[in-house]
Structure 1
Amino acid sequence: MLSFQARVLQLQTIIRLVNQVDSSKLSYRAEIDGLRAVAVVSVILYHAQLNLFGRDWFEGGFIGVDVFFVISGYLITRIILSELQTNNTFSPLNFYERRARRILPALFLVIFASIPFAWQRLLPSDFVEYADSVIASLFFGSNFFFYFSTTEYGADSALLKPFLHTWSLGVEEQFYFIFPAVAVVIYKYFRAHFLRMIIVLSVLSLLLAEFMETRNPELNFFLPFSRFWELGAGSALAIKELNSKQVGGTFLHRLLPAIGLSLVAYGIFFFNGDTPHPSFHTIVPILGVALIIGFRSKDELVGRILSSKPFVWIGLISYSAYLWHFPIFAFSRMGKDPTNYDKFEWIALTFALSLASYFLIERPFRHKAIISSRLMWLVLFACLICAVAFMGYVKVSKGVWDRFSLDQRVLIGGFDTAEFRSFSHPDGVMGTILDKRIESEKCYLRDPMDACRFGDEKFVFLGDSYVAQYERTVFARLKTIDMGFISLSYGQCPFVSEDIWFDGRAECPYVNEQRRKVIEGFTDSKIFLISANEQQFESPKKRTNNPVKDGWEDFRGGESAASRIAWKSYFQNIEWLVSKGHKVILVRSLPRPTLNALKWLPQNTHYISQRNFPYLSNKDKPSKILASDNSKYPKFDGPVLVVDPVNSLCDLQKDVCWDVIPNGPIYDGGRHLSFIGADLVAKDIVDAIAKF
């Protein structure tokens, strides 16, 4: 990690270099389009996830969006200041009309083109989320929408959200709404301090980004002010350029653009999902972009490369390419595990459609001589009404269930809500949902002191969502033997040490404290069902000072703890239950699915009526899972029975595990079981109960 002094030196370096930038007249700069080409290609290759020679070479391609931010800040500031310097006034109407002509026509085209694919390939809940995301993109709030819908940008599931990429449009448009007014005020009243004020705001933004990266990296990623310093870097370049004498041909102008391109390339090839971003680390590519824009010259190599026709042409269609690529990739990924050949086809289709939309939509709408202001606003308003009306219909109909036959609706309904979230108190008794601080009849995420309790309370569900996924179907079987239950399930909170927690659930130590208090209050022997998402055991974190408050605030930072602590405390807690006179059913490792059922199912509804789905396997081998579990799980003394899900979810003789069986998909689209898969394991769980 860099020391504080080193970080300060980095900031001083940026400020010093910005002050050395040369000036030029407000004119077309071909190398800017070349930079756009670098940005869009890096983003496209990042989202494609090409694996070449055993490696994804573009894991840092997400910084292409940051390159776009710097370019936007530079160009928008040039437009505003040049108008103020020339006319001593600024026309918001003209400015926003230019933005509308630039952004909205192509966006509407991509939205309308995506609707048939969404209709065909999305289940009702996903269709509603798609509609919400489209509305958010039209009103430039996608960044906040995807944060509050708990979307992790780099996650595999995020790659299946067709309009996730519009989060960056939201950030830019929020900048466009606020910055012109700020710029006009500063220009009129603090003109001599314009550059200093932008630099101060940018430094504050960067410091916020660094702070938020440790507190809440997901919010930091989507937060506009965490990104302002990138736009501000471009803005500072434009201010200096428009107010300085032109200097060119120096040694710096030949060297620094090459260094800048190297820094951008470093970010693309060596950043990855573990790189804190945006943060001080992001200074590297941003400084690179600043060096290219600020010290460009027609005589140096980088300027000639970026100004060359191939780069310029890609840059010209970069906006269309950015809009098209993500829906193409997302819908194409649904229901299949793509090969590199598939991904090259997606990229080719992206650029083909981008060329078409650039010439047929973007260029005509940008010119008033072709499409007048009145016609443009009429077309855009009509498109807005149609888009919002259709998306409203999708929301009101809760995903347009009428698309499916009665048989299809019955099966699809089981996938519409994740199985681990589906269990409610049988009598509708309300309780406190801890993370939301609301009352609900749902059993999932309840405060343990307000847990779902029913009947004789003989059976106890204890663990994270990997226990919760069995609750509904196990209870259905428990009713036949007249046994009640207590639900102590809580997502991402397995029954481990009270000194650790896992990403996203800082409240887990409190949850486990309360669980212990509840269990210590038991006066009779009970049967516990225990399981855990073992993957998260690899990255526990140390307890924070205020677990519940940090959980409410969605705190994602924290100090790492050793993986062995999670495993050791997990086993010790099982032994503690046994020492208290209780019995334990321990469900061990689940196979990992390859197929995404939520995306595969809508394209294969023809199997539903006869329930004749094909057997489809994943990449896991039951023999390897059993061998791994036997090596890491101890043999417990006392009444502990083991249930291995591979016995019901795999074919042990063929050594294959299934994603789909004749009854349907056995996973819910992620790593949790669907109601079909959960019921298979539930049978083994109830059989184990009978042995006690």
Structure 2
Amino acid sequence: MKKEYLPHIDILRTIAVFLVIFNHLNITLFSGGFIGVDIFFVISGYLITKNIQQEIQQNNFSLLVFYQRRVKRLAPAFFTVLTCCTLVFLQFSTPFELYAYFKSLIAATILSSNIYFWQSLNDYFSIDAHTTPLLHIWSLSLEEQFYLIWPVLLLFTIKLKFRIRLILFFLIFISSFLCSYYSANYNAIFAYYLLPTRFFEFMLGAFLIALPQRNFSTGIIISLTTFSLSILFIFSFVLTKDSTFPSYNALFVCCASAIYIYFSRIDEQKQIWQPILYLGKISYPMYLWHWPIIVAINVNSIALDTKVRIIVIITTIILSWLTYEKIEKPVKIYIKNHNDILKILFLIPSLVIIFISIIMVGFNRFQINTSRQPSPKQNSYECLDSGNNNLACLLGLKQSNTIDLLFVGDSHANAQSPIIDIFAKDMNISGYEFTQSTTIFLPDTNCIRTDKGSKNKDFYNNRFRNRNDLIQKTIKKNHYRFVVMGGYFTMDYCIYSNENQKNSSKAFNEGLERAINIIIKSGATPVIIQDNPQLHNININCNLRTNSPEKSCRYESNIHFITTKNWNNQLIYLKKKYPKLIIIDFNDIICPNNFCYSYINNIPLYRDSHHLTHEGAYEIGKRYLKIHGNPLKSYE
């Protein structure tokens, strides 16, 4: 059966794919461009339901044929991109990156990429999205899961009365939306990646099939088409990565998409539409190609300036054109036997990819274990969010009857723990690390996270307050010689306040002074360890990919010192007010000679753009001790 061509759908596909690409290129105006994925979901729900409904009415629908068509439509470009990505990233990826890549490749092949990334991201030591070539495949896996469920659901309900069927589907729609709304507030990663919270988006497209087909006046068509597209563009401008999503924001986006699909009409014969229509035809390979290209640029520390962005877009279009014309079209022509489709286009390439990937996962795991390549899950992070009785959190001497040092702070402090460990060992003392993510030690201070839903904000503030209350009690109860405070001091991830102060900056400074006073009153010496610089347009493994890292893996130190000027002035003020305060500043180790580097002694310093690695922090500590001596000895 020849399918009806719907040119206005290709227009919408073009808009959707460019929204996604502009978002991934970090074009500020399109901070919410990720809604392009949701537009695709609505399109899929509409087209799949439309085609199935027509075939059911003609008594010629077959699940097997349906899945064969899906494979024929999706597999050629999919496996082409996966093969090319593998060959390219094998050339310059580190063992740990390849280990993660081939695990994600297996997940993509077995249609569970969204589940894999949900599990990976649902861990503090999350993958770095900007260096994960197949991260975008999560949406394709989610669509394929919808394809597995929806046709079966339609078949099982086909004999029900129309009204009952509609009520059943509406209940499923409401359940999915409520799941999305709840999860977006309590488990945002689950909400973003999994089908239960996205099912309502596909169903909005499917519901269009139940609406009567009518001929609308030109005025209505133009008005509602303009209105729906305006809503989509507004949301692509105003939403950000911190917006509550999918939830009600996705509902608005999907409703606007559905309105466009139902009311829009395009005259495909007009020349003005031809380039846009063609881009819609190749939007699928464009979606597949654009992200690996961007990742390749990121991992090779190439800045995404205007020139590079234009090159990415042009390269994406060229590769997509080649994929569509030289692979997708020929496959449709030459593979006509339905019995060969699943075997040739899916089963054989899937088994080959899985077999090779299993071998490569094992090989690169061996490479990691026998090399100096730092892993994001090395043991310096085991103490994060743990209690103060965890032996893994001991610093300095491991055998001691007394604990002389307490190290508190957030995940940045946790990443710096090897530095404090070296200083403690040099002084022959023992200490505890007591760190918790997003928890700088600010007693009696509220921390309202700026990146959480309304319900989560209370949870994280209570968590912040409870940990800092416990630190206060611990300091007052014990007689430490030193209390070291570390943290992401220059990042406004919270809006701070206290009983008398609502200004965030002032509340932060008051909380920090309160912490210093508590430490001094306990008889301990307060210590602040300066935060490390952030990386700017440099990949964490830059030095492992180039023969001239001294030129490629650095940025001007002024960029760092300008952004931290206010914090450094605050430290100067605190040092004058509290002469007993020790400030450990190791930035000259990372930023010598007017440049900040991503490595020391060919060892990468960072596990992401702002957290140090265990081995990197250890090298910093050794070098600091050699150049400056032990700062903890300054008041002995």
TM value normalised by structure 2: 0.86
SS in 2 for 1:164: coil
State the AA in 2 paired with 1:416. Answer: S
- Give yes or no for contact 1:596–1:669 (8 Å, CA) kept in 2: no
Look up the SS of the partner of 2:526 in the other structure.
Answer: strand
- Tell me the residue number matched to 1:529: 484
**Which residue in 2 is equivalent to 1:577?**
519
Matched, 1:295 2:236: no
1:82 to 44, 48, 54: 54
Q: Deviations over 1:421-467 (max 9, x none)?
A: 5338xxxxxxxxxxxxxxxxx43332224353432422222222222
Which deviates more from structure 2 when the two are superposed, residues 464-473 or residues 98-107?
464-473
2:424 to 455, 478, 484: 478
User: By how many angstroms is 1:371 displaced?
Assistant: 5.8
Structure 2 CA distance for aligned equivalents of residues 95 and 541 of structure 1:
55
Per-residue CA distance 1:376-401 (angstroms, 9 max, x = gap): 51353221122111211222123462
Q: 2:456 corresponds to which residue?
A: none
**1:423 aligned partner, one-letter code:** S
Tell whether 2:596 aligns with 1:657. yes
1:30 is the counterpart of 2:7: yes
Task: Give the C-alpha shift of residue 186 in structure 1.
Answer: 2.2
What is the alpha-carbon distance in structure 1 between the residues aligned to residue 359 and residue 213 of structure 2?
A: 57
Q: Give a deviation string over 1:88-131, Cα, whole Å, max 9, x none.
A: x6411111111111222221111111112222222222222211
Q: In the alignment, is the contact (CA less than 8 A) between 1:123 and 1:416 conserved in 2? A: no
Q: Residues 131-280 of structure 1: matches in 2 within 5 Å? A: 131-150=102-121, 157-240=128-211, 244=212, 246-249=214-217, 251-280=219-248
Deviation at 1:236, TM superposition (A): 0.5
- Code of the residue aligned with 2:607 in structure 1: it is D
Give 1:688's match in structure 2, choosing from 599, 615, 631. 631
Q: 2:380 aligns with which of 423, 432, 439?
A: 423
Residue identity matched to 2:354: V
1:372-391 to 2 correspondences below 5 Å: 372-374=338-340, 376-391=342-357
Question: The residue matched to 1:617 in structure 2 has which SS?
Answer: strand
1:447 paired with 2:387, answer yes
Q: How far apart are 1:331 and its partner, in Å?
A: 1.1
1:69 positional shift:
0.6
Alpha-carbon distance in structure 2 between the residues aligned to 1:46 and 1:619: 28
Residues 363 and 585 of structure 1: is their aligned pair in 2 closer, same or farther, counting only changes over 3 Å? same
Displacement of 1:292 in angstroms is 1.8
CA contact (8 A) 2:411 2:435 kept: yes
The SS at the match of 2:433 is strand
Aligned length: 605
* Aligned pairs (5 A) from 1:18-97: 27-50=4-27, 56-87=28-59, 90-97=61-68
User: Which one of 628, 640, 644 corresponds to residue 566 of structure 2?
Assistant: 628
- For residues 308 and 57 of structure 2, the distance between their equivalents in structure 1, rounded to whole angstroms, comes to 51
Tell me which residue corresponds to 2:455. none
Which AA in structure 1 matches 2:340? R
Residue 616 of structure 1: aligned partner? 554
What CA deviation, in whole Å up to 9, does each residue of 1:287-312 have, x standing for no partner? 3222221113357xxx8889922122
Q: Distance in 2 between matches of 1:360 and 1:622?
A: 48
Give the letter for the 1:223 counterpart: L
Amino acid paired to 2:358 = G
Q: Which of 279, 293, 297 lines up with 1:332 in the alignment?
A: 297
Inter-CA distance 306–581: structure 2 relative to 1 (3 Å threshold): farther
Match 2:474 to one of 498, 501, 518: 518
Q: 1:317 to 1:373 in 2, by over 3 A?
A: farther
- Conservation of the 8 A alpha-carbon contact between 2:543 and 2:599: no
What are the superposed Cα offsets for residues 615-654 of structure 1, whole Å, 9 maximum, x if unpaired?
A: 7234545654674234334344363111223333334xx5
**1-structure distance, mates of 2:204, 2:509:** 46
Residues 318, 643 of structure 1: alpha-carbon distance in 2 compared, 3 angstrom cutoff: same
Residues 211, 678 of structure 1: CA spacing in aligned structure 2 closer, same or farther, 3 A cutoff? Answer: same
Q: Is it true that 1:603 corresponds to 2:549 in the alignment? A: no
SS of residue in 2 equivalent to 1:308: helix
Aligned residues of 2:411 and 2:436 also touching (Cα < 8 A): yes
- CA displacement, residues 321-356 of structure 1 (integer Å, 9 cap, x when unaligned): 111111111112212223221221121111111111
1:323 aligns to 2:288 (yes or no): yes
CA contact (8 A) 1:461 1:487 kept: yes
Aligned to 1:435: none
Please give the alpha-carbon distance, in whole angstroms, between the structure 2 residues aligned to 1:352 and 1:614: 29
Q: Report the alpha carbon displacement of residue 602 of structure 1 after superposing the two structures with TM.
A: 3.3
CA 1:562–1:90 in 2, change beyond 3 Å: closer, same or farther?
Answer: farther
What secondary structure sits across from 2:429 in the alignment? coil
CA RMSD, 1 decimal: 3.3
Kept in 2, the 8 Å contact 1:26–1:82? The answer is no
**Closer, same or farther in 2 for the Cα pair 1:211/1:603, shift >3 Å?**
same
Compared CA separation, residues 171 and 306, structure 1 to 2 (3 A): farther
Residue 137 of structure 1 aligns with an amino acid whose one-letter code is A
Deviation track 1:578-627 (CA, whole Å, cap 9, x = no partner) reads 110011221124322214443413312x469xxx7877234545654674
2:444/2:511 contact within 8 Å kept: no
The reply to whether residue 593 of structure 1 matches residue 535 of structure 2 is yes
Residue 279 (structure 2) pairs with residue 308 (structure 1):
no
Q: CA contact under 8 A between 1:365 and 1:371: conserved in structure 2?
A: no
With over 3 angstroms needed to count, the CA separation of the structure-2 counterparts of 1:541 and 1:578, relative to structure 1, is closer
Q: Give the CA deviation at 1:317.
A: 0.9
Distance 1:213 1:62, change over 3 A: same
CA 1:462–1:687: 2 relative to 1, 3 Å = same
- Structure 2 residue 325 is matched with structure 1 residue 354: no
Mapping 1:451-466, distance limit 5 Å: 452-453=393-394, 454=398, 455=400, 456-466=402-412
Task: Tell me whether 372-381 or 123-132 shows the greater mean CA deviation.
Answer: 372-381
